[in-house]
Amino acid sequence: MHSKNKILLVEDESSLSKLVVKYLSDNSYICTHVSRLKSARELIKKNSYNTVLLDLGLPDGDGLSLIKEIKQKDYTCGVIIISAKDGLNNKVEGLDLGADDYLTKPFFMPELNARVKSLIRRLNFEGNNEILIGALKVIPDQMRLVINDCDVELTNSEFNLLLYFTSNKNRVLSKTNLAEYMSSKYFDYGFSDDVIYGHIKNLKKKLEKSGAPDYIKNIYGVGYKFIV
Amino acid sequence: MKLTTKTSLSFISLSTIFFLIGSVFMYFAVRVILAEDLSSRLYQMQGNFIDNINSKNDISNASNQHIFINESFEINTTQFSDTVLIENDKYVLYRKICFYHNIHNEIYKIEILQSQAQTDLLIWRIVILNVALAMVFFLIIFFLNQISVRRGLKVFYSTVSKLENFNISKPELMYFENAEIDELKKLTEVLKKMSLKISSDFNEQKEYTENVSHEIQTPLAIISSKADELLQSENLKKEEMEQLEIIMNTTTRLAKINQALILLTKIDNRFYTDISVISIDKIIHEKLDFFSDLISEKKIILTTNICNILDFKMNRYLADTLFLNIIKNAIMHNNISGSININLEGNILQIMNTGPKLLNKENIFKRFVRSSNKDSLGIGLSIVKRVCNFYFIDINYSFDKVHRFNLNFKDEKKLL
């Protein structure tokens, strides 16, 4: 990821759009925002984007129709549907049409960030990518963590949490945010603070044992921060 | 019971009752008529007898088998009566005229008898013939009625079968045949209007719930994102951060409740009408796979005993929701190193799991009734119950050391 990734946001809710644009720009993406399908179509024709964030219910039509056009033009352009519309039904339809991911509103910005990152990684490196962060080498597709050339055994939950932390480094991730992220992987399985705390405690222990610095800081009463 | 059978049966039973009353009445009427006829014949015989005696001027030889002559001391009025004679060991009913005659200054009581056997036989023949004719008549009427009603109701039956297959999201598929009968014509017209009205109401409702969902979720997304942004600022006091975390938590919760309620409303509004064949045995394994990480992390011992395949017609999304929720429930409310036991035998699915005892098991399927686990919304099982009700799946809960959910997929129309 040498050059900045370009993201197109198609969303008609202006206050949410501002938040997303600001957040993604802060995270060194170039984010363009349009609120109509028509303008989105024109932009897609002229420019190439790494990812399109697509709302479904737009004033001038259903976003689903855009997915095909995007994918036909540039297969490496990822599409993430962001919608408040009822999950599974639209999700299945959207994914069938070629969307890469689906995020239901409301979502936390770090989660959006994690999804965009993982999607760009997936599309650009075709699965052979590694994330190097501090002393850690994370290989998402093999669910492997390597520290000092040694593999560290992590459970799926621990690995998912670590991936989420690395995607949102130097940022306070609240307990709610972490629980939501984990829950969304398991059909809103209600992860309690205790369970999240347990997983993070184990993750910290394993990192410490492998000789990595203590990256995960506990922000008391609020959540955690992955500091590199 | 079919309308035709019902009307025919009541027609026939009523007719039979009236006919029986009529037959009894007729029996007596015929008897009276024939008795009168007999009496007049006896009068005639009396006249002939008297003429005969007067011309002969002798009564001594006038008696025979059916004419009895006895001397009498007084003259009484002429009388009719019934009497029985034994002829060839058989009782035979006779009609008798009894009169008095004065000849050579002697009074004779003369009884002339006339057999009623013939008339009796006649009455019975008439009655039997009458009954037989009536039976034939009824049978003919019954079948003609059946045929004509069936023909008249043909449109009705086709309308009913169309209504059975009524798909609320595709009202244009409803096409009613034109009926000849005014009542049926009226009915199909009303149904046409009604189906269009129902669909338009349904669509409005659907749009409304979707709008509510969309319009509420987006502001919630903004609130939680803003709170999250604030949380990133430097120099926040601990209390301020905690309050921001509470805002995020509450907002997320609100969004979840909103989504769940929308789902419940959608189920109630029959939003999910597309039906596919769901293999219950397969979907269980699929959902267990989905949660396998959580099952192993909680060190839950899982045993499944699936004896047979079970195919059930239901909406794919609702099936996913049902099984995800009920299996999630079994994991979420389980103990560490607990167990889950799933049995499928015949049409009955049994899901048992260990876990802390509930205080209030009557309310387990009610909304927002939560266990001690504060992270559950208390709405999953109420969604499960709603989906079950929708497909007439019997679901019940019991607790005997383990939590036990029994689901009976009993609706034969939906089984394959």
- Asked if residue B341 and residue B240 are part of one domain, the reply reads no
Nearest-angstrom CA–CA distance, B240 and A222? 10
Q: What is the pLDDT of residues B133-155, one digit of tens each?
A: 888 988 888 888 888 888 877 88
Domains assigned to chain A:
5-125 (3.40.50.2300), 131-226 (1.10.10.10)
| Tokens found for residue A122 | 């997936």
pLDDT at residue B169 greater than cutoff 70? no
Positive or negative torsion for Cα A84, A85, A88, A93: negative
Among A16, A89, A189, beta carbon nearest to B332: A189
Measured at the CA of A174, the angle between CA B292 and CA A127, to 5 degrees, comes to 50
Stretch B253-277: mean pLDDT:
83
Residue B322: per-residue pLDDT: 93
Residue A86: per-residue pLDDT: 59
Among A23, A88, A177, beta carbon nearest to B248: A177
Distance of CA B395 to the CA centre of its chain: 24
In a domain, B382, yes or no: yes
Using CA atoms, how far residue B392 sits from B48, B321, B348, in Å, is: 90, 16, 13
- Asked if residue B248 and residue B214 are part of one domain, the reply reads yes
Alpha-carbon dihedral of residues A117, A122, A128, A133, nearest 10 degrees?
10
Confidence of residue B195 (pLDDT cuts 50, 70, 90): confident
Q: Enter the ipTM.
A: 0.79
- Asked if residue B221 and residue B360 are part of one domain, the reply reads no
- Asked if residue B302 and residue B214 are part of one domain, the reply reads no
Nearest chain B residue to A56 by CA: give it: B214
pLDDT at residue B384 greater than cutoff 50? yes
In a domain, B296, yes or no: yes
Domain boundary among B250, B268, B286: B268
Q: What is the pLDDT of residues B310-358, one digit of tens each?
A: 999 999 889 999 999 999 999 988 999 999 999 999 999 999 999 988 7
In a domain, B73, yes or no: yes
pLDDT at residue B213 greater than cutoff 80? no
Nearest-angstrom CA–CA distance, A24 and A7? 9
- Asked if residue B372 and residue B245 are part of one domain, the reply reads no
- Asked if residue B211 and residue B291 are part of one domain, the reply reads no
Domain boundary among B252, B268, B284: B268
**Is the pTM higher than 0.95?**
no
pLDDT at residue B63 greater than cutoff 80? no
The answer to whether residues A65 and A59 touch, using CB atoms and an 8 Å cutoff, is: no
- Asked if residue B347 and residue B227 are part of one domain, the reply reads no
DSSP secondary structure code for residue B172 in this structure: G
Stretch B73-87: mean pLDDT:
84
**In a 10 Å sphere around its CB, with 0-12 CB exposed, 13-18 middle and 19+ buried, how is residue A121 labelled?**
buried
pLDDT at residue B368 greater than cutoff 80? no
If you compute the radius of gyration of chain A from its CA atoms, what whole number of angstroms results?
18
Identify all chain B residues contacting A19, using CB atoms and an 8 Å cutoff.
222, 225-226, 229
> What is the distance in angstroms between the Cα of A188 and the nearest Cα belonging to chain B?
9
Q: What is the pLDDT of residues B276-292, one digit of tens each?
A: 999 999 999 999 999 99
Residue A1: per-residue pLDDT: 44
Contact criterion met (CB < 8 Å) for B225 and A16: yes
Question: End-to-end alpha-carbon separation of chain B, Å?
Answer: 27
Domain count, chain B: 3
- Asked if residue B215 and residue B146 are part of one domain, the reply reads no
Nearest-angstrom CA–CA distance, A52 and A81? 8
Using CA atoms, how far residue A142 sits from A118, A133, A145, B395, in Å, is: 13, 17, 9, 41
- List CB contacts of B194: < 8 A, sequence separation 6 or more: none
- Asked if residue B254 and residue B311 are part of one domain, the reply reads no
pLDDT at residue B397 greater than cutoff 60? yes
- Asked if residue B222 and residue B345 are part of one domain, the reply reads no
Lowest mean pLDDT among A54-63, B163-172, B296-305: B163-172
| Residue of A188, A194, A195, A201 to mutate for B, most B C-beta atoms under 10 A | A188
pLDDT at residue B50 greater than cutoff 90? no
Residue B287: per-residue pLDDT: 93
Nearest-angstrom CA–CA distance, B353 and B339? 6
Residue A13: per-residue pLDDT: 85
Lowest mean pLDDT among A34-43, A52-61, B187-196, B366-375: B366-375
DSSP secondary structure code for residue A28 in this structure: T
Give yes or no for A198 touching B (CB within 8 A).
Answer: no
Among A155, A174, A192, beta carbon nearest to B231: A174
Residue A2: per-residue pLDDT: 47
In a domain, B367, yes or no: yes
In a domain, B74, yes or no: yes
In a domain, B191, yes or no: no
Residue ranges of chain A with pLDDT lower than 50? Answer: 1-2
Q: What is the pLDDT of residues B10-44, one digit of tens each?
A: 878 888 888 888 888 888 888 888 888 888 988 89
The answer to whether residues B375 and A192 touch, using CB atoms and an 8 Å cutoff, is: yes
3-state SS assignment for residue B302: strand
3-state SS assignment for residue B81: strand
**In a 10 Å sphere around its CB, with 0-12 CB exposed, 13-18 middle and 19+ buried, how is residue A37 labelled?**
buried
pLDDT at residue B167 greater than cutoff 90? no
Domain boundary among B268, B298, B322: B268
Residue B375: per-residue pLDDT: 58
Residue B369: per-residue pLDDT: 67
Nearest-angstrom CA–CA distance, B392 and B389? 5
Helix (H) or strand (E) holding B48: helix B3-56
Lowest mean pLDDT among A113-122, B41-50, B257-266: B257-266
CATH of the domain at B339: 3.30.565.10
Q: What is the residue whose two structure tokens read 């997983």?
A: A199
pLDDT at residue B380 greater than cutoff 80? yes
In a domain, B58, yes or no: yes
- Asked if residue B218 and residue B94 are part of one domain, the reply reads no
The amino acid present at A52, given as its one-letter code, is: V
Confidence of residue B92 (pLDDT cuts 50, 70, 90): confident
Residue range of the domain that includes B345:
276-409
Nearest-angstrom CA–CA distance, B324 and A188? 10
In a domain, B285, yes or no: yes
Nearest-angstrom CA–CA distance, B55 and B263? 116
| Residue of B169, B206, B218 to mutate for A, most A C-beta atoms under 10 A | B218
Among B214, B226, B263, beta carbon nearest to A85: B214
> What is the distance in angstroms between the Cα of B386 and the nearest Cα belonging to chain A?
17
Stretch B359-386: mean pLDDT:
75
- Asked if residue B282 and residue B262 are part of one domain, the reply reads no
Confidence of residue B377 (pLDDT cuts 50, 70, 90): low
Nearest-angstrom CA–CA distance, B394 and B415? 14
